[in-house]
Homo-oligomer: A and B are copies of this chain.
Amino acid sequence: MPSNYPPENISPDQLNSILTQIKDYQTNHGSLLKVIGSETPHSVHLQPVSASVFPTVFPRRLFNEAVDELQLIYNELYCKLAEDVEWLHAVTGPLRRTEPLVDALWSVYEDVQRRRQDEGSQYIEQRVHAGVFRSDYMLHVEGDSADSDDDDDDDDEEVNENWTQNLCLKQVEFNSYSCAGGCHADKVADMHRFLARWGLYDFALESNEGREEQVVNTKIPLSTLPKNSSINGIASVLASAHKIYGSKPHSPKATHTAVLMIVQPNNFNIADERPIEYALWNWVDDDDPIATYRIEWQLVLDHTKLTPTGELLFFPPESGDSTTASPVEISVVYHRAGYEPREYSEVVNGKQIRTRLELSRAIKCPSVLGHITTIKKVQQVLTVPGTLGRWLTKEKADKIRGTFVEIRSLDDVMSSTKNLEEEEELAENYILKPASLEGGGHNIYGTNIPAFLKTLSPDSIPDQSAYILMQKIRSPLNVYGMLMSSSRGVVADEVVSELGVFGGCVWERKESSSDRARCQVIENRVVGWSFKTKEVNVDEMSVVKGYGCFDTPFLVD
């Protein structure tokens, strides 16, 4: 780890020049968020997405491990889970009673099965599915306590050695549905690489320390900032699925086939969605660009139609009155909505929306079963010894098991430890997460857990089974960063980063009695990564909420 990094004594003018470079780059490359409430029919205000000023150090060995080794195994596992309906149902079915989202997803699944088996049904089943996954990791200090040996400056080299040696990756969560952040991560990585090429960090570091040897130590060579092409990577998964579906429509009414992105209405984070559409329209791997449209979740029923054989016809809102315009046949449904309980309320006919999409002949990215794999309860049960062997070889299972932290079901804990709420020490080492949701927005952290538990009825198993307790990851100390966000300003502080690796899969369901053979993986690739950094004393990582910042790992040996 380089010493005096990021540099402490940058002058205000110099810092201002650096920040201007960043804001201007983000402005010119669409690394932006819409300012909430600012949009009118004819205009909108935007602001740069939170980003790190200096790339944050991360061990090269662990970056490579996550990208080159772990992701392909996780991809394989989650494809197989998505076709293991009995197992998924056994694990997540019990949550239906208390968790509306889990119930909605299983209802959709059952409804689709029923309608396919209805007498006279002509629906053609689509057995090919796709997935864009993201596995999130944080650095974890192995051993009994975090490294706090930062007193002796003369030992810098030795400390740095230790720093990377006793670290490992621990998985925060695995996302298999509507994974966000890929477009921003791509652009911010390009930005940091551009700024390094420009010499921004060299200039800044050079002037900070006059000594020659220091200059050499603190430059950021381009080779330490990995390339990221998540935008094209995610698009490539959809392109593969589109190619399998075919460019010729099955329905004689349709003019062409196209990818359809299902999105939430008025999303202020549009810059994390649109680039995937643009990438597909500019796709040149095959002869033709891939037509790609978007529809807001609540408008799906008005602008789509199923043919008797299940082709999903789409009438773009831009075409006005859909009765006169020619429809498009959808090859791939790419889900970027439908992950919040309220989206399945009766107000918007959410179950009907999802059922129509699921029942269609289009390839779903992902299927409703693929969606169910993202539930935290699945992540917990996968940590139970012996479970992984159902889908993975021992060698593969061992590799990913190394990234697991201890995860316990709250009902197990409550039955064995009656007085957890008093055990502050234990609570401090755990995070309480809703078992049915993904994302970090609903977590309860450490010492807040006991108070929260008191609000639960002590004998209510349903309430307790709605939560999992996840061992807190022990982040390394003394990692410093400089972050810039519209909400928190410029902060130079001790930081914690999260590495997300994007996987892309296409697979086909086979009829087989063996659990392993039921899923034939057609494509299994790593398609990009995201890297986010927050101040160490902030619990949540969410960038769109203003906590975390997109970042690029400064890979160190």
**CB within 8 Å of B: which residues of A?**
10-11, 13-19, 21, 23-25, 27-30, 32, 34-35, 39, 41-48, 194, 197-200, 203-204, 206-208, 210, 270-271, 274-275, 278, 281, 289, 291, 316-321, 324-326, 484-486, 489-490
Contact = CB atoms under 8 A, between A and B. Distances in A.
Contact of A204 (B39, B194, B291, B318): B318
23 contacts: A11-B320, A15-B41, A19-B41, A23-B43, A25-B274, A27-B44, A27-B271, A28-B278, A41-B489, A42-B489, A42-B490, A44-B48, A45-B45, A45-B46, A46-B46, A194-B281, A197-B281, A203-B316, A203-B319, A203-B325, A204-B318, A204-B320, A206-B319
A197 B289 contact: yes
B270 A27 contact: yes
Contacts of A14: 317-320
A46 B204 CA distance: 27
A428 to B, nearest CB: 33
Nearest to A484: B42
Work out how many copies of this chain go into the complex.
2
Contacts of A32: 27, 46
B23 A318 contact: no
B42 A204 contact: no
B30 A27 contact: yes
A297 B242 CA distance: 52
A318 B42 contact: no
Nearest to A282: B194
Contacts of A271: 27-28
Contacts of A325: 203, 206-207
Q: Top 7 closest A-B pairs, CB basis?
A: A207-B320, A203-B319, A28-B30, A43-B486, A14-B320, A17-B317, A17-B318
Contacts of A281: 194, 197-198
Given A46-B32, A46-B45, A11 B321 contact: yes
Contact of A270 (B16, B28, B34, B39): B28
Nearest to A29: B30
Contacts of A42: 19, 484-486, 489-490
Contacts of A27: 30, 32, 34, 44, 46, 270-271, 274
A544 to B, nearest CB: 15
Contacts of A198: 281, 291
Interface centre among A10, A25, A35, A317 (most CB of B within 10 A): A317
Contact of A208 (B29, B204, B320): B320
A43 B47 contact: yes
A21 B42 CA distance: 11
A44 B43 contact: no
Given A28-B278, A47-B44, A48-B43, A17 B316 contact: yes
Given A19-B41, A27-B270, A490-B41, A207 B319 contact: yes
A200 B35 CA distance: 26
Contacts of A289: 197
Nearest to A319: B203
A208 B326 CA distance: 13
A180 B489 CA distance: 32
Given A45-B47, A207-B325, A325-B206, A275 B318 contact: no
A468 to B, nearest CB: 37
Contacts of A19: 41-42
A174 B29 CA distance: 31
A319 B203 CA distance: 4
A24 B270 contact: yes
A27 to B, nearest CB: 6
A24 B320 contact: no
Nearest to A11: B320
Contacts of A10: 320
A318 B207 CA distance: 9
Contacts of A44: 23, 27, 47-48
Interface centre among A24, A34, A203 (most CB of B within 10 A): A24
A17 to B, nearest CB: 4
A16 B199 CA distance: 43
B35 A319 contact: no
A203 B318 contact: yes
Nearest to A323: B207
Contacts of A28: 30, 270-271, 274-275, 278
